[in-house]
Chain A
Amino acid sequence: MKIAVLSGKGGTGKTFVAVNLASVIKNATYVDCDVEEPNGRLFFEPELVKSTEVNVLLPDFDAIKCTGCKKCVEFCAFNALFFIKEKPKLFSELCHSCGGCKLVCSNGAITEIKKRVGVIEEGFHNDIKVISGILDLGEISGVPVIKQAIMQAMESENVIIDCPPGSSCSVMESIQEADYCILVTEPTSFGFHNFKMVYELTKVMGKKVGVIFNKVEDLYEPLEKFCMENSIPVLLRIPFLKDTAKELSKGTILCEKQAEIKNLFLELLKQLGGAISN
């Protein structure tokens, strides 16, 4: 079972849920796909860490072999190439490393060179395998790092995927292999707005979903109504507790310290069992 934890809005508690859920599952694998801010490792403090570099391929042009036919420039769907002073040039941040330009070049003027964009760290916290995707500073797209992080987790049986916030390409990449999506939201109008966006994404991708309301103080009716009308199971309501938040900010895995929080997540696990077997 591969479970993705996601939310439209940042700071709703994705990592809190993902880390604690992983901590109550035997031999779980936790994958941090929030590659711009991979914070899961701050909680797990994994040991025996192995690092693997993530590289992408970028085209390189041989000015002598290039005849200036511009086929590569016309082919590029992302307009990462332009043609100037009789030769093609690359905007590397727009390149999706598809290799198409190399394929359409009939003069063999294009080769591919490796470029490092990030690193994957794999380690252990007790019986939990912790995989963190870490994007290099200044890189625009986290997708290649996410792809490799997920690939490293594919062999494991029970995988918790901690997604980046939002509903863009990086989130799509993160949930692609997931069997089930947990949407974390705050019961506020801002939280609700962004929740609807991710919910739509999971629907487009044909995913099974459940929702967790986090930091609950009051009932937010529009959200309740929306979930009821769309038959989205509410898996858990986590109350807003100041002391819990304080403890969390120290990097504590709450399930390891607080029995009431552990009970909440054991309850969630039970709920998931029900929701998933349906």
Chain B
Amino acid sequence: MSSPQSDFPKTKGGIGMIVIIPSEEDKITICESFGRTPFFLVYNTENQKFDFIHNPAATEQSGAGIKAAQFVVDQRAAILITKRCGENSGEVLKEAGIIIYKAEKQILKDLIEDFNEEKLEPLLRFSKGFGVGV
């Protein structure tokens, strides 16, 4: 594969873990939305392998954030890097002990690099949901 994300920066030793970032269709930039992102970048720091997996919650009528959070939990992720995250998804992720970092940059590769260099800040603000289907 010759796409620009094929050589994600390598982690400097340490234990392996799964890092997840919502990704746009282009598989290069981060998606603004967590619950309705088309893809998730699933990155394994141990072997630097990565995968883009379809978000099973992308087209849900209700509770997309919760289903997306369930996906992240089921991937046994330790880290989520995202621009925003709703209150409900935040609750699921926190309960599972997943650390959520705030994404300030657009390019997935840069975010992984910042993560490896421990430059990311934790996400502190959780937004109110947009569409609770009542």
Contacts and interface: CB of A to CB of B under 8 A. Distances in A.
A106 to B, nearest CB: 21
10 contacts: A77-B61, A79-B62, A84-B96, A91-B63, A91-B91, A94-B63, A140-B132, A142-B134, A168-B134, A170-B134
A82 B132 contact: no
B134 A82 contact: no
A77 B70 contact: no
Given A79-B64, A140-B132, A91 B95 contact: no
A91 B62 CA distance: 12
Interface string A79-93: 110111100010101
A143 to B, nearest CB: 7
B66 interface: yes
A85 B70 contact: no
A100 to B, nearest CB: 14
Residue with the greatest number of chain A CB neighbours at <10 A, chosen from B60, B63, B91, B96: B63
Interface of A: 73, 76-80, 82-85, 89, 91, 93-94, 140-143, 168-170
Nearest to B68: A79
Contacts of A170: 134
Interface residues of B, number: 19
B90 to A, nearest CB: 12
A170 to B, nearest CB: 7
Nearest to B60: A79
Residue with the greatest number of chain A CB neighbours at <10 A, chosen from B61, B67, B91, B134: B134
B69 interface: yes
A76 B61 CA distance: 11
A80 B63 contact: yes
Interface of B: 57, 60-64, 66-67, 69-70, 73, 88, 91-92, 95-96, 132-134
B62 A78 contact: yes
Given A78-B63, A94-B63, A141-B134, A73 B95 contact: no
Given A82-B69, A84-B73, A94-B63, 9 more contacts: A79-B63, A82-B66, A82-B67, A85-B96, A91-B63, A94-B133, A140-B132, A141-B134, A168-B134
A91 B88 contact: yes
Nearest to B35: A79
Contacts of A76: 63
Nearest to B92: A82
B71 to A, nearest CB: 10
B130 to A, nearest CB: 13
A109 B66 CA distance: 22
A143 B29 CA distance: 40
Given A73-B70, A84-B92, A84-B96, A79 B134 contact: no
A92 B134 CA distance: 12
Contacts of B134: 140-143, 168-170
A201 B64 CA distance: 25
Nearest to B73: A84
B96 to A, nearest CB: 5
A77 B66 contact: no
A93 B134 CA distance: 9
A85 B95 contact: yes
Contacts of A94: 62-63, 66, 88, 132-133
A168 B57 CA distance: 22
